[in-house]
Amino acid sequence: MTFNATMEMTGATAKLTLSGELDASTAPIFKDAVEKVLKDQVKRLVLLMQDLEYMASAGLRILIFAKQKMGANVDIYIVGAQELVMSTLEKTGFLHSVIVWDEYDADEIENLSNN
pLDDT in tens, 51-93: 999 999 999 999 999 999 998 889 999 999 999 999 989 998 8
Q: Would residue 115 count as lying in a domain?
A: no
Closest to 85 in 3D by CA, of 22, 16, 14: 22
83-98: burial string, b at 16+ Cβ within 10 Å, e else: eebbebbeeeebeebb
pLDDT in tens, 1-15: 699 999 999 888 999
For 92, the domain range is 3-110
Q: Would residue 13 count as lying in a domain?
A: yes
**β-pair type (75-79, 99-101):** parallel
Tell me, what CATH number does 40's domain have? 3.30.750.24
pTM: 0.89
How many domains would you assign to the chain? 1
